[in-house]
Amino acid sequence: MHALIQPTRGFPMVRIPSRNGGQPVEVCLVAQLSPGGGDQLFAGASGHQRGHASFVDALDEPSAKLFGVDAEHDDRSSVYSFAVDAGGHPFHRHAGHRVFTAVSGSGGAQLRFSTIDDDALQRDPQAFLDALHVVDVPPDSLFTVRFGGGTWHQFAPRRAGSPHPVFFALSCHTNELGGIRDPALADTIRRDGADIPTLTELLPPAVQQVLAAQPFHHLRVATTTLSLHAAPDTVALRACAHIRARVGRLRRRLAAARAPAGFIGRRYRHAAVELAAVPEGSLLSEQFDAGFHHQDMFALTLPHPQTGSSAQALLADVLEGFLANRPLGVSWLMRLRNVLVRPLRLRRSPLGCPVSSLLSDDRSRLFAGRYPVLDQRVSDDRRHVEVLLGADDRHLAFRACVGVEYSGDGLRITLGTRVRCRNAFGRAYMAVIEHTHRRYIAPTMLEMAVAHALQQRDAPAPARAVAVA
C-alpha cells in the first residue's frame, strides 16, 4: 500500500533529493494519450529512428543524434532520440546533465534512479539498493525528466514480463562536455563525434551481481506513482491500464506494418515567369525551322546568388531536380495521360513532357556525364550553359531547352518548349493540354527543380537532402 496519496491540480511530479550532493532527480507527468497511443507512437517513431543517418543500436537503447555540438558557435548542447523496448536496459550513468521528454508505452514505464556517491558504492555494493528510488509512470503518458550528471538510472516496464515498450524519448544533453575528464573523449565531442553509447558508463560488476541476485520487482524500494485521471492503487486505474494494454498491442502492430515515410517541404520566394519570346541564340530558337505549333519560355531569376557553383554544376543540379523533386500534381496528370494514350501506342513517361527525355536510354550524348541530351552549349566565359532535350512521337515532336546564365542582375534559370504537330490528332492533343502546360506544368516543374538545386547548394557535405515542395 502507498503510505500517502496526494491530489494535485497541477502536473503530478516528484523531486528526489540527491544523496551525493548533486542535482535532484525530477519527473513531471504532463498528459495522457488515447488508449494504445504510446505503443503506436513508439512503433512509428522507432521506424523513423532506424532510418536516420546517425542511428546507433547499442546497450538496449537504440538512439539517433538529431542535433549535434556546434563548436563554431560555442554550442555544446546536443539532442538525441532514444527508445527503450519491453526488455528495458541496464543501469548506467552519464557524466553530464540530462533532460528528456518521453511518451510511455501502453504498459507504463518504471524509472529507477540512484544518486549514491562512488565512495559509498565501492565500500558496500549492497548500499546501491538503499539509495534506489522508483517512479512509476502510467501507460500512454507524456512526461519529462531532469537529473544531474553521475545519476545511475534504468528504465524498465512497470510490470515484469510486459510485452509493451517502455517509452520513446527526446533527450537534451545541455552540455555534452559537462563532467567529461577523458581528453580523448572530450576531443571526440568537440568534433561532434560522440553518441549515447560512448557517453555511457555501466554499473560496476559487483553491483550488477547484487541486482542479479533477485528479480528487481521483488525488491522493496522507495516508490512514487504518478497518475492523471485516477488515484494510485485503485480499481479505476487498474481497469484503465488493462484497457490501454490490450488496445496498445493492436495499435503497435498496425503502426509497425506501415513503412516509415517522411517528407521535407521547402518553399522558395522565387517564381517562374513566362517570357514574351524565346531569346535569340538559344538552342531552342534553332529548332523546327519549318514551323511549329506551340512555343513557351519560362525564367526564374535569383538576385545576387551567394554561390561559388559553376553554371554547369548548377544546371546539373537543376536537371537532377526534374528527376528527384517532381510535382505530385504533374505526376498524377502523367499517370492519367499514360493510361489514356496507351491504346494509341503513343510514347509514355512518368516525367512531364518538357524534360521526359531525361529518362531516355540513349546514352550517346550526355551532359555532366549522366543526363541524356540532344545538344549542349557553353559560352566562352562559361557563365551561360544550356542543354537541349526532346523526343519524337507519332503525333508530335517536342524540344525543350534548360539553361543557366550568370549576369549582372543575378542568376537566371530557364525552361523553354517548342512543339511541332505531325497530324490532326497532334494538333487536337496540344489544344487540350496547352493551357495546363503553360499555366501549371512547365512553371511548376521549373520552380521545383530550382528548389532542389538550391537545397543541394545549401546542404552541408557530405549528406545532401532532396527538397520536396
CA distance 389 to 23: 66
What pTM value is reported for the model?
0.71
3-state secondary structure of 308: coil
pLDDT for 305: 59
Strands 201-202 and 92-93: antiparallel
DSSP for 356-417? GGGG-S--SSEETTTEE-SEEEE-TTSSEEEEEEEEE-SSEEEEEEEEEEEETTEEEEEEEE
Q: Which residues of 21-37 are buried (b: 16+ CB within 10 A; e: fewer)?
A: ebbebbbbbeebbebbb
Q: Are 126 and 115 in contact (CB under 8 A)?
A: no
Q: Are 120 and 92 in contact (CB under 8 A)?
A: no
Q: Are 440 and 299 in contact (CB under 8 A)?
A: no
pLDDT for 462: 40
Copy the grid coordinates of residue 338: 499514360
- 350, 375, 354: which is closest to 419 by C-alpha? 354
pLDDT for 468: 38
Peptide bond into 462 cis (omega under 30): yes
Give the burial class of 225: count Cβ atoms within 10 A of its Cβ; 0-12 exposed, 13-18 middle, 19 or more buried.
buried
CA distance 372 to 358: 6
Q: Are 82 and 48 in contact (CB under 8 A)?
A: no
pLDDT for 242: 77
Copy the grid coordinates of residue 89: 536496459
3-state secondary structure of 98: strand
Q: What is the pLDDT along the chain (469 residues), one digit of tens a residue?
A: 445 677 788 899 999 998 887 889 999 999 999 999 999 999 999 999 999 999 999 999 999 999 999 988 889 999 999 999 998 889 999 998 999 999 999 999 999 999 988 888 888 888 888 889 999 999 999 999 999 989 999 999 988 888 999 999 999 999 999 889 999 999 999 999 999 999 999 998 888 888 888 877 777 888 899 998 877 777 777 777 777 878 877 888 887 777 777 776 666 667 888 999 999 889 999 999 888 999 999 999 887 655 567 888 889 999 999 999 888 888 898 888 889 888 888 888 888 888 999 988 888 999 989 999 999 999 888 889 999 999 999 899 999 999 999 877 778 999 999 999 999 999 999 999 999 999 999 999 999 999 888 887 765 544 333 333 3
DSSP for 405-439? EEETTEEEEEEEEEEEE-SHHHHHHHHHHHHHIII
The region that residue 138 occupies, defined by phi over 0 for left and psi between -120 and 50 for alpha, beta otherwise, is beta
CA distance 242 to 139: 10
Angstrom CA distances, 267 to 138, 191, 204, 218, stand at 41, 32, 53, 57
Q: Report the 10 Å Cβ neighbour count for 117.
A: 15
Give the burial class of 196: count Cβ atoms within 10 A of its Cβ; 0-12 exposed, 13-18 middle, 19 or more buried.
buried
Angstrom CA distances, 248 to 245, 281, 358, 454, stand at 5, 66, 48, 43
